[in-house]
């Protein structure tokens, strides 16, 4: 796998994760981002021992886009504090089936993770294990494909919950195109396609210099090609 590296220095590495690749170490023989990043670092500066790679955030396997990895423990601690303190800015593009009632807005829900079935659900506040989930959305474009209405959304995450965008959009009546877990249309056997979700932009504060840094990649995938971006 050839890594598309957007930025790298001694502390951090910004890279585009391809669709279909695990963002952390995988329990299989399939490639994963952590292994590929370690291989890249070792190639640049071979040394004894395994290279340190800190996982700061995750993207679902069927989702591609911009990610940051830490190359030192101090950088990992700084970036993790930014994530937990909601000091990073993550912007996604998504193609959903249907159209939200409003052209822009905010969804606030409580999500409960079902670890056994690897899915999340919107539940009532107060349910044991439920966590607040918040995102902002804006309709960028809207069109019809074979009699079905599709909307291109720009989404900014305020929190980072398990499958958050996929669960919240489905829960509000506009599931993501191609989502085999949360969109009933794509749960049929043989109806296989990638989920139309892409992490297009990430803004962080550099853990050493304190400089605000933004990295962007144009969303990839056949559904995004239908829209002008």
- The model's pLDDT over 52-85, given as tens digits with 9 standing for 90+, comes to 999 999 998 889 999 999 999 999 999 999 999 9
According to the model, what pLDDT value does residue 222 have? Answer: 83
Structural domains of the chain, count:
1
Q: Whole-angstrom Cα distance, residue 62 to residue 46? A: 32
pTM comes to 0.91
Give the pLDDT score at 45. Answer: 73
- Specify the CATH number for the domain of residue 183: 3.30.2350.10
Mean pLDDT for all residues in the chain: 92
What's the domain range around 89? 4-226
Q: In this structure, what are the phi and psi dihedrals at residue 120, rounded to the nearest 5 degrees? A: -130, 160
Distance of CA 225 to the CA centre of its chain: 19
User: Does the pLDDT at position 192 exceed 70?
Assistant: no
E strand or H helix that includes residue 168: helix 164-171
pLDDT (tens digit per residue) in 102-137: 999 999 999 999 989 999 999 999 999 999 999 999
């Amino acid at each position: 796998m050839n890594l598309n590296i957007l930025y790298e220095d001694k502390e951090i590495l910004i890279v585009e994760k391809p669709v279909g690749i695990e963002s952390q170490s995988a329990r299989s023989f399939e490639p994963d981002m952590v292994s590929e990043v370690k291989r890249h670092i070792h190639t640049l500066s071979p040394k004894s021992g395994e290279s340190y790679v800190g996982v700061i955030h995750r993207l679902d396997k069927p989702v591609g886009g911009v990610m940051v990895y830490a190359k030192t423990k101090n950088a990992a601690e700084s970036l993790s504090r930014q994530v937990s303190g909601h000091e990073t800015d993550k912007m996604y593009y998504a193609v959903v089936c249907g159209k939200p009632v409003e052209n822009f807005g905010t969804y606030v829900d409580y999500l409960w993770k079902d670890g056994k079935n690897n899915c999340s659900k919107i539940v009532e506040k107060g349910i044991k294990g439920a966590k607040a989930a918040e995102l902002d959305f804006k309709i960028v474009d809207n069109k019809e494909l074979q009699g079905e209405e599709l909307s291109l959304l720009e989404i900014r995450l305020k929190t980072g919950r398990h499958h958050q965008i996929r669960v919240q959009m489905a829960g509000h009546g506009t599931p993501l195109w191609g989502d085999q877990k949360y969109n009933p249309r794509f749960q049929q056997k043989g109806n296989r396609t990638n989920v139309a979700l892409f992490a297009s932009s990430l803004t962080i504060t550099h853990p050493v210099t304190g400089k605000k840094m933004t990295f962007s990649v144009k969303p990839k995938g056949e559904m995004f090609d239908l829209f002008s971006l």
